[in-house]
Amino acid sequence: MKKIAFIHGTLVTGGAEKALINLLRFIDYDQYDVTLWLRDNQGELTPQVDSRVKIKYWDDFFHQDSQKCLKQMLKECRIMPILNNLCFRGLSKHYINDWYLNYAYYLKSLCFAGWTKYDAAIAYQALSKDDILFLTYGVRAKQKIGWIHGKCPHDRSNPSYKTFFYEYPKLSHIFCVSNGSKDIFLDKYPELADRTSVMYNIQDFDMIRRLANEKVDEVFDQYTLVTVGRLSSEKGQDMIPSIADNLRSRGYRFVWYIIGDGPTRKALEELIIEKKLTETVILLGQKINPYPYIKNCGLYVQPSYTEGFCLSTFEAKILRKPVVVTNVSGMSEQFSQNEAYFCEPKVESLTCGIEKAFKVKASDRRIPGDVSIDFNRRELKKLYRAIEE
């Protein structure tokens, strides 16, 4: 049985985190022994991880296990590993003002302190400096794989991104979650084209449909809008109060539920109050189960400025709901033009897209087609091939 390590920060509620949990549900555990390395256990989604996965925490190792390993090496008089450990610790302290070298050498010192060797190690969010360094220096593995969720923002002329410039070439394979995100990534790293491919996020279709049947207190009709996602600048929720104000001024009566939490919540609340929309645009906060809201809404709206492969719109597709989406990376791979209302990520364009749907009966709105039953099996084969290379 082959050993696989997944590396991620914390399992807070977010698209990449939900995608990781879904992927771990469908791994072939007859073939693979899986360990999930997290920074700490603070994420509210951690209890949802498949019970067959062994969970370990970086902080525990840094603070306890590394010292135990060093003591064990001293006890066994393993001179070379001890010297390597001390050498890299010294280099780490020497580069105390250079985050990249300081952290890299520190992790190299831990690697010589006696880590398990894996057949494959995977940084599930390789746009994180911590995760990519932990993958390349903190874990011993035959294959090292990175996963790119979303738009790669790296500027090759900016030295603050040097961690990635130096470490990505050491990876055996890089997965992007859509063709759009792959194109953006390869525009920054064209030299990595031979090891970069697309693997779409795994979905738990049965679970989504089952959980969507749970009862909730809110009232829904064909004019109920729902948006799900972390409240952050790239997700476009800042446009929602202005869009709602436009729709209200054109005579529409509706309720817009926003599910999620994040750094832009306070600013969003202030905009809702400023435009006197507190009865129209309602922040429901974080919901572990958002699926009943998606299933029962009249229209699902995703106003993102940027995306990789948007999980919530794909969940709306699984539940066969009409959707309004922005014409950003990954959306055209989920929906054809007659399956969704495509808009530019601008207030007026989104207003018109929603109005276009409002003007027809709910039964006449564009509905996404069924997702292939082979979707998960096809995508998992891509991962298994990368592990077995």
**pLDDT reported for residue 94:** 83
Average pLDDT over residues 211-222: 96
Distance CA 10, CA 86 (A): 30
Q: Is 218 left (phi over 0), alpha (psi -120 to 50) or beta?
A: beta
Confidence of residue 63 (pLDDT cuts 50, 70, 90): low
Q: Which residue has the higher pLDDT, 167 or 72?
A: 167
Confidence of residue 112 (pLDDT cuts 50, 70, 90): very low
The two structure tokens encoding residue 255: 């309720």
pLDDT at residue 54 greater than cutoff 60: yes
Q: Which residue has the higher pLDDT, 109 or 237?
A: 237
pTM recorded for the entire structure: 0.83
Please, which residues have CB within 8 angstroms of residue 71's CB and are 6 or more apart in sequence?
none
Distance CA 335, CA 368 (A): 7
Q: Is 4 helix (H, G, I), strand (E, B) or coil?
A: strand
Distance CA 20, CA 30 (A): 19
Strand partners of residue 5: 35, 121
Confidence of residue 73 (pLDDT cuts 50, 70, 90): low
Distance CA 177, CA 350 (A): 25
Phi then psi dihedrals of residue 265, to 5 deg: -60, -45
Q: Is 19 helix (H, G, I), strand (E, B) or coil?
A: helix
Q: In what order do the strands lie in the sheet with 255-259?
A: 281-285, 255-259, 224-228, 299-302, 323-326, 341-343
The two structure tokens encoding residue 228: 């799900």
Average pLDDT over residues 354-381: 92
Average pLDDT over residues 350-368: 95
Domains of the chain, earliest start first: 2-203+377-388 (3.40.50.2000), 211-364 (3.40.50.2000)
